[in-house]
Structure 1
Amino acid sequence: MGALSPLSPLVAALAALGVGLAVLALLLVRSRRELAVSRRTATTAAAAVSRRLAGVMASGRDGIVLHGAGGRILEVNEAAATLLGSTVQALVGSPVTELPVRWRSETGQEVAPAAVFARRAEAWGEDVVLVVEPLDGGTHRWVQVWTRGSPTVDGGQELTTWLADVSGRRDALAAQARSEQQFQAAMEYAPIGMVLIDPQWRLTRVNAAFASLLGARPEALVGRDLSALSHPDDRAAERAGVHGLLAGQQSRLSLEKRYLRADGQTVWVVLDVVLVRLADGEPDHFVAQVRDTTESRLQAEMLAHRAMHDPLTGLANRSLMHEVLHEAIERPGADGGLAVLVIDLDEFKQINDRYGHPAGDDVLVHVAGVLRAATGGRGTVARLGGDEFVVVVEDPDAARTVFEVAAGIHRGLRNPVRAQRRRLPVRASVGAAVADPGLLAGGVMGLLAAADAALYRAKAGGRGRTEVYDPSMSMAGAVRHGAAAELGQAIDAGQLVLHFQPVVDLEAGYVVGHEALVRWQHPERGLLLPGTFLATAEEAGLSVALGLDVARQAVAHLAATADRGYWVSINASAEQLADGELTGVVLAELARLGVAPGRLVVELTEASLVDAGTRIRHELSVLGQGGVPVLLDDFGTGVAPLSYLRDLPVTGVKLDMSFTAGIPDDPAAARVSRALGALAREMEMVTVAEGIETPEQAEFLRGCGWRYGQGWLFGAGRSEPVVGMSDGRAP
C-alpha cells in the first residue's frame, strides 16, 4: 500500500462534519415537526377549554361575571347580562361600578357596586342576598351574590362573581310566610276554638278561644292528650272517630260532645276534625275546630223541657204524662204495679173569679208542691190544664200507695194557701184507678177514663174526698167518658186531619197562606166537622191535646211544603194558651223541623177571656218573641176590642164573618168594616177578612183597605193547599 496523502485527514474531518450537519438538520426538522404538533395540540386543547367555558357560561342559570382586579369585566354570560339589564357585548370591558343597575340590601340600604363585586372575605364575609333595581325602572330581582378570586399566570388575580336569581324562591318563602302569618292570625283571633293535634292526639298548638273555652292558659294545654279533657262519657266516641280518620275510613270527623273545664264545669261543643297527611300518605297532624254550643244546647233543652212541662208549675204536662203512662203500661208488672190518680180542685173557678188569675196561679203552684211531696218520688206528677192534675204511680204495691198518696194530698191541703196577701182554703177531689187486665186492655185512655169516673163519684159524693174505681162506676157518666176516650184515642191514632182554606192577597189575587181547619176522619162515621167533637174535647179536658196535635201537623205540613212559601194559621183558644204547653210545642217543633217561625200564625179565639197581665198574655208575648205572628180572631165582636189592640201583643186582626156577610147590602156592616179596617191599618196591623163568598164582598173589602181575604169564594177547606203564585210573604 502506498503512503497516505496529506489531504486525507482534512477529507475525513469534512466528511464527519457533513455527517454531523446532516444529523443536525434531521434533528432540526424533527424538532420543528414536533413543535408544530405540540402547538396544534395546545391550540386544540385551548379551543376545547374555551368551548367548554363558553358552554358553561351559556348554559348556566346563574349569572357569571369574570372581572379583573381593576374592576373591568373580562367575560360575562347571557344570564348575568339579563339580570343586569344589558347585553354581553355592552358589558365586556365595562367597569363593574358603571353597570345600569342599583344595588340594595335586604333592609333597603343602597350598596356600592365595588362592594358587591369584592371578595366576600373582604366585604361581606359570607354570601349575601341583594336587590337588583334596573335604572330604567324595570322589575327588581332578588339576587344571591358570591365572589371568589383566582391567581393569574403573571402573579395577578382575577375575580369570578356568581349572581343567582332567587326571586322565585324568595317569593315562595314570602308567600309561605304570609300564609303562616295569615293562618296564625286566623287561628289566634278566631272567635271559635282552633287547635293543631299530632297523630297521637296530643295538642301541639291552641288558640286563645279554645283556652278560654276550657278556662285554662294556652301553654298549659299544649302537650296534653285532647281526649283527657273530654267528659268521661264522650271519650270512647271521640277515640273511635279519631281511629276512623287514621284508618282512612272517613275524611272528616264531626262530633257533638262535652269537655270539662278547669273549674269542673261542663261545656258542650261541636268538634270538627280533618287529618293532614304527608306526600307518602302518612298522618302528619290534625286540624280541629271547636265550636261552643253550650248556650244553644241549653236553649234547645229549655225548649224541649218546656214542650214537655207545664210552665207555671214545672210539672209534667199532658204530652209527657201520656208518654210516661204508655211506657208504664207496656212494662212487665203493670197489673197491680201501676195506678193513676186524677185530682181536681174544688170550686177553683170561684177563686179565679173573685180574686183574679194571679191568685189562682199562686194556688196552682202551691198545689203542685203538695202533690210532689205526697207522691214522694213514687211516680210522675202532671198538670193537664186548668186545675186538673194527674199522678202516675209506679210501685209494686200500687193499691196501697194510692191511698198513701191521696192521704198525703188531703193532708197537705188542710192549711189555707197564701195567695195575694190572703189565706185561701183549698180542697181537692181525687179519683184513682189501679191497673188490672181489663183496664190495661183499654190503654192510656181507658185507665184515665176509669180514674176520671172515680173522680166523678168523688165530686158527687161531697168533694174533698178520694174514690177508687170499681166496675160499678162504669155506668156513671158512661156516655161522657166513652166519647172522651174515643176522641182521645182518635188523637193518639192520628185520625184528626187538617184541611186548608186559602188566604188570598185581595190586591194581587194570589194565594199567600192557608188557615188550618181540623176534621175528624172517623173510621165508621166518616169525616166529622169540628162542631161534632170540639164540645167533647173541652168537656173532657182534651182541648189542649187537640190543639197540640193540630200545631204539630201544621208545622210538619210547613216543613213538607217549604218550597211553596205559604204560611199557615192555626186557632188557639184562651184555655189552650193558658195551659202553656201549646207555646212550648209550637216553638220546639218549628226549631226541630227548621221552619221559619213567621210561616206559622196563631189566631187567638175567645179573646174576651184574656185579661191583661195573665198567663195567656205572657204566652202571647213568648210567641211573639219567638217570631210567631199572632192574629186577633173574630175582630169586632166580644168586649172592648180596642183595648185588646192596645194591651195584647198581637200582629194583626181577622174581621169576623158576621160583618162580611152583610156587605155590601147592610150599611151598618159596611161602615163597621170600613172603620175597623182603618183602625187596624192606623196601628200598622195585618188585616184579614174572613167569610168572603162573593166577588162584590171581596172588592168592597179591598177598597176599604183589608189586605187579605178568605172564604168560599177562594176555595173551601181541603187536604192540600190551592196551587197558585205566592210571594212568600207572611203576615
Structure 2
Amino acid sequence: MSRPAKGIPEPRRRHLGLAAAAGSDTARGTRHGDGRDAFALAWADAVVGTSYVSMSRTEVEEHLRGLTDRLAEALFTEPFTADAARQVGAAMVGAHFTGTETLNRTIALVADELPLRLGLDRSTPWRLSALQGALAAGYAEALRQRTLDEQEAISQAVFVARDQAEQALRVSEARFRAVFAEAAIGMGIADMDGNILDANASLLDMFGYSLEELTRRNVRDFMHAEDAASVWRLYDELVSGQRDHFRVEKRFERSDGEVIWTHLTASLIRDDEGRPTYQVAMIEDVTDRHLLQDRLRYQALHDPLTGLPNRALFLERLAEAFDSAAEEDRIGLCYLDLDGFKVINDSLGHDVGDQLLVAVGQRLDACVSAPGRLVARIGGDEFIILMERSSSTRDVVAIADHVLAALEAPIRVREHELSISASIGLVERSIVGTTPADVMRDADITLYWAKADGKAKWALFDPERNAREVARFTLSTTMPAAIERGEFYLDYQPLVRLCDGQVVGAEALVRWHHPEFGLLAPDRFIGLAEETGQIVPLGRWVLRQACHQARLWQDRFGSRAPFISVNLAVRQSRDPGLVADVAKILADTGVEATRLQLELTESAIMGTADEPLDALRALSAMGVRIAIDDFGTGYSNLAYLRHLPVHELKIAGSFVEGLRASASDGSHVVDARIVGTLVSLAHALGLGVTAEGVETADQARRLDDIGCDSGQGWYYARPGPPERIDHILSDVR
C-alpha cells in the first residue's frame, strides 16, 4: 500500500517528481516514440501518496499509462469529444484514486504537462478546458455513485438493524450506533413532524452546530431561499408516505452563514405495520466539487483574454431569451467588428493587439452593461451586444451611437496611442416569427453592409436590401446553368445610315428570361457577371449567337446584310483566349471578319493595359471592327486615340439628347457644336461616327446635317427579335 511522501513540501515534491519522471524517460527510453510515458510518470509522481491504492509503483505507472493513451486520443481525435476524459475520471475512482488531492493534482497536470508532453497546439486551449471538465465530471460522478452505494449500504444496515431488533437488539443497536456515529457522511434522524432527534458527528461538524442546538431545530428551518421547488415537493411526498426516499442536490447554510453544497438522500423508516415513523437524512458535502465545476464552467463560457462572455455563453443567453419571451417581446443585436485592427496587430504585434482588445472590451462593458444586456467577445476582433426586451430600433441605434462615441478617444497601450473605431451591424425585431439563427445571420449580413459603407458606421438590417442581395447571389449561382438551359436570348437594334436611312448594322443585346425573376435587362446581371467572371462564358455565347444570326442575314441579303455589333466587357478584353475564341467563332459560323464589330466603353479602351491592347490590335488585323461605346462620357486622351485600333466612335446619347430642343431654345446650339466637334475629330482620325439615343426625326436630321454617319435609337426601332430586322431589310428590297 502506497503512503504519502514525508518531509518534502508539496510544490518541491512535485517538482522533484517531474524531474524524476524526465530522468526515468532518459534511462528507459521512450517506449512508444512520444511523450505519453513521460506524462504517465509525472502523473504517477503527482498522485502517489494522495490515495491509498493496493498497487505497486510500477503498477500505478502502468495503470496511468493506459489512461494517458485515452486522454491523448481524445485530444487529437476529430471531431473532438471529451467523453474519453469522463471515462478516465471514472476509471481513477474505480482504481481507488479517491484521495482529496488526487483530483486537484490530476487537473493541474492535464493543464500544465499534457500539452507540453504531447506537443499540443496551445491555440486551442478550450480542448484542454473541456478535457479537464469532463475528467472532473466523470471523477465526481463515479465518486458520487460510490458514495451513494455506501449510503445505500448504510441505509440497508439501518433496515437490517430494525428487522433484527427483536432477535439481537443489543448487537443491532451497537452496530447501528457504530455505523451512525462513525460514518464519514452526515446522518440525522427526525420524527414525522420534522423535529430533529439525533445527528452524528459528521453532520454536526458539517453544519457547525452542537447536538443540543441541532435538536432544537426543525427540518424545515433548513429551507434555502434558492432551493428548487421540487426539493420540498419531494420532501412533502416523503413525510406523507407517498415515497420511501429521494435524492437531490441541495444548499444549506452553516451556523456561521457560509453556504455549503450537498448531495442529500432522505429515507423513510416504517414500523412493523408499515406506518411512517422516522425520517433519516444522509448528507454528503460536495462544496469543493461544486466550486470546481463552477470554475470550469466559467472558463468554458468566458473569453480568457477579456473576461467577457464568449460565443458559447452568448448563444446560450440568446436561446434563453427566445425560450422565455412573451409574445410581445422584442430583441436587439449589435454586431461589432473593429476597423483596422489587423493592421495594428500585424504592425505592432499580437501582444499590443491583445491589450487593445482588453481595453475595448472594458469600454464596451462599461458603456453597455445593464440588466437585460450582455456584451460578449465572439472571436478575433468581433464583439456582440445582446439587448433583451428592446422597445424599438431606436434602442439598438442608441447603443450603436454610444459605442462609436466610447471608442472615439484614443487607447494607450504601452508607448502607443491607438485610435480605433468599429463597424456595427444592427438587428432589432419582434421575437415572434424569427429564431436565434435568423437574428445571428441577419446581424452578420448587416455587419458586412456596415463595413462596405465605410469605417465607424452602423447599418440597420433592411429586408428589402437583403432580398436584393439574396437575388444577386441567386443570379450569380444560377448563371452558369442558365447558359446551358438556354435561358438567355438576344434582341437586336438596327444601326441606320443617316444620309439614306439604310440599315447598315445591328447591335446584339443579351436578355435573361429567369424562371424565378422573369425577364431581366442587362443592367440586372451584366455587372454581376463581370464580378463573378461569368461574363467570359456568357460573352462567348453572345458572340457565337450573334455571329450565327449575322450568317443568316449574310446568306439571305448578301451585300445588304448588316454587320453585327457585340458589346465586349472589360474582363472579356483581358481574357487570354479572346482572339482565339473570336477566330474560331468566325470560322465556325462562316461570317466575314469585316461584318463583326466589337464595342468597348471609352474608359475601358483608353485605360487598357498592353496585353488587352495587343488582343484588340490582333482582332483589328483580322478585319474585326473595334468601336468605342458611349464616347464622350469618360476622360479621353484624344492624342492617344489615334494610336488605338479603333474604327468607330459611338457618341453617347446624353449629347444627342440636347438636339431635341426647339429652334427657340439656344441650348441645342451648344450640343450641336459638341457633337459637331466630336464628328470632326473622328473623321479627321479616319473613324466612322454613330450617334446613340436617336429618338426623333429632328435629332436624325440635325445629326445628318452635322455629318454624323449613322444613328441608333428608338426613332428607328427598339431592340427586338431578329425577325424585325428581317422585315426592315425586306421592305427596302
- TM-score bucket of the superposed structures, by smaller chain: 0.3 to 0.5
Q: TM-score, normalised by structure 1?
A: 0.38
More helix by share: 2
Larger radius of gyration: 1
1 or 2 for the larger relative contact order (CA 8 Å, sep ≥6)?
A: 1
